Amino acid sequence: MMKVIAFAVRPDEQAAFEKYTNELGIDMTYVNESLGMENVAMTQGFETVSFLGNCDLSRPVLEILAANGVKFLASRSAGFNNVDMDAVRDLGLRFSNANYSPNCVSDFAVMLILMSIRNMKAIMKRTEINDYSLPGIQGREMHNLTFGVIGTGRIGCETAHSLAGFNGRIIGYDVYENESIKDVLEYVSLDTLFREADVITLHTPLFESTYHIINAENLAKTKPGVVIVNCARGELVDSDALIEYVENGHIGGVGLDVLEGELGIFHNNHRLSTLSNHQLAILERHKNVIVTPHCAFYTDQAVSDMVEVALRSLVSFVENGESSVEIK
Ligand code: NAD
């Protein structure tokens, strides 16, 4: 029986783990904690390891994994900026990510867009205290807006398809143009996107080329009242520049499912502890900034897909020497 060790296992993943370990004949060792330097020793004796985006797969950890005999790594997350891919290649390890249903994130992005243009945070806060007045909560209509999609991969395309139903204009920017989306989205330069979009939604991975793609220089090009939505990775947005443009009144609304420095904060209960991310504390206070705890992925379908894709990938690596979701 194939032995796998899975890190960062959450209780809500258990049903999917049971289903697919039974179906695929896997002897699974479950670890609730995230993988990192402190527990990488547990991988001794395993050829295959699964983990999530909150685990530390930096070079020193990967060196120990390789020395322990690990050959195949399968992330149950789509983003893999936590994995040092140069070290993976140098050490001869093989790695795959989980390309689960993009709809979980695209639905969430559209929801944050709608909530932002209709001032939903302010409306909900007011109604909580029996304030049912209208001044200050007037919104805009979707069909009158231009949506700028940065990154037109699986999630960006699905978001564009969903937005198309609202009959606005959709423009997009990607380093590679995707022919199949050109019926709903017009490709433009990044500069044009910043200048013409009323709503900008981010769907690129975190790379050096996308780090702080939303910064002061680019925000200065945007239309007054622009809405910024980030359901990709926190580091795509320079939080300090974002705060500056919220506070000077230029930005009309923000929806953030991810945030710089979120690790250790999002997915944890901090009711009784001090919040260590001051940008988060500031952003939370603004009536037109919605922050959600990196939960766009978190649906019944996606959680099951994440486990299934990762386990099937590990089985395929071991049995066939390849995986259809391998990242090289
Ligand atoms: P994908 O690989 O299908 O698409 C990414 C797209 O970004 C590609 O088309 C690529 O060409 C483009 N891109 C790369 N570099 C670029 C650049 N410099 N400028 C413009 N475009 C660039 O990935 P996906 O499945 O659509 O996921 C996108 C990202 O969403 C993931 O990498 C992950 O970080 C994030 N994500 C977040 C959540 C969440 O819960 N919030 C869940 C899943 C994924």
Residue to substitute in 82, 204, 209, 237 for testing ligand 1 pocket (most ligand atoms within 8 angstroms of CB): 204
Who's near 173: CB < 8 A, 6+ residues apart? 148, 149, 150, 151, 152, 187, 188, 189, 190, 193
Look at residue 131 and tell me whether its pLDDT is greater than 90.
Answer: yes
Q: For residue range 215-256, what is the model confidence (pLDDT) as tens digits?
A: 999 999 999 999 999 999 999 999 999 999 999 999 999 999
User: What ligand 1 atom has the least distance to the C-alpha of 204?
Assistant: 7
Look at residue 46 and tell me whether its pLDDT is greater than 90.
Answer: yes
Q: Do residues 70 and 174 both lie within one domain?
A: no
pLDDT band at 10 (very low <50, low <70, confident <90, very high): very high
Q: Which domain holds residue 14?
A: 2-100+300-327
DSSP category for residue 57 = B
- Identify the pLDDT of residue 198: 99
Q: Do residues 259 and 316 both lie within one domain?
A: no
CA of 286 to the centre of ligand 1 (A): 27
Mean pLDDT, residues 104-114: 98
Specify the 3-state DSSP secondary structure of 38. coil
Q: Which of left, alpha, beta for 64 (phi over 0: left; psi -120 to 50: alpha)? A: alpha
Q: Report the C-alpha gap between 75 and 97 in whole angstroms.
A: 5
pLDDT band at 69 (very low <50, low <70, confident <90, very high): very high
Q: Do residues 53 and 32 both lie within one domain?
A: yes
297 pocket-lining for ligand 1 (C-beta < 6 Å): yes
Mean pLDDT, residues 177-192: 98
Mean pLDDT, residues 75-97: 97
Length of the chain (residues): 328
The CATH number for 179's domain is 3.40.50.720
Helices of type H across the chain:
14-24, 59-67, 85-90, 103-117, 120-128, 154-164, 190-196, 216-219, 239-247, 278-285, 300-320
- Identify the pLDDT of residue 313: 98
Residue to substitute in 54, 174, 192, 209 for testing ligand 1 pocket (most ligand atoms within 8 angstroms of CB): 174
Q: Do residues 152 and 239 both lie within one domain?
A: yes
Task: Catalogue the active-site residues.
Answer: 233, 262, 294
CA of 227 to the centre of ligand 1 (A): 19
Look at residue 188 and tell me whether its pLDDT is greater than 90.
Answer: yes
Residue to substitute in 104, 190, 201, 203 for testing ligand 1 pocket (most ligand atoms within 8 angstroms of CB): 203
Q: What is the DSSP string of 136-156?
A: T-----GGG-EEEEE--SHHH
CA atoms within 13 A on the CB side of 296: 32
- Identify the pLDDT of residue 135: 97
CA of 42 to the centre of ligand 1 (A): 31
Mean pLDDT, residues 81-106: 96
Measured CA to CA in angstroms, residue 206 lies from 5, 12, 54, 258 at distances of 27, 27, 14, 12
Q: Do residues 73 and 111 both lie within one domain?
A: no
Quote the distance between the C-alpha of residue 177 and its chain's center: 21
The answer to whether 77 and 258 are in contact (CB under 8 A) is no
- Identify the pLDDT of residue 223: 98
Q: Do residues 221 and 243 both lie within one domain?
A: yes
Number of structural domains (the chain) is 2
Q: Do residues 222 and 264 both lie within one domain?
A: yes
* Mean pLDDT across the chain: 97
- Identify the pLDDT of residue 99: 84
Q: Do residues 108 and 231 both lie within one domain?
A: yes
- Identify the pLDDT of residue 275: 87
Rg (CA), the chain: 21
Q: Do residues 314 and 212 both lie within one domain?
A: no
Q: Do residues 80 and 121 both lie within one domain?
A: no
Q: Do residues 202 and 219 both lie within one domain?
A: yes
151 pocket-lining for ligand 1 (C-beta < 6 Å): yes
Mean pLDDT, residues 35-52: 98
| pLDDT > 90: percent of the chain | 97
Q: Do residues 110 and 198 both lie within one domain?
A: yes
Q: For residue range 256-305, what is the model confidence (pLDDT) as tens digits?
A: 999 999 998 999 999 999 888 999 999 999 999 999 999 999 999 999 99
Q: Which two tokens stand for residue 281?
A: 């504390």
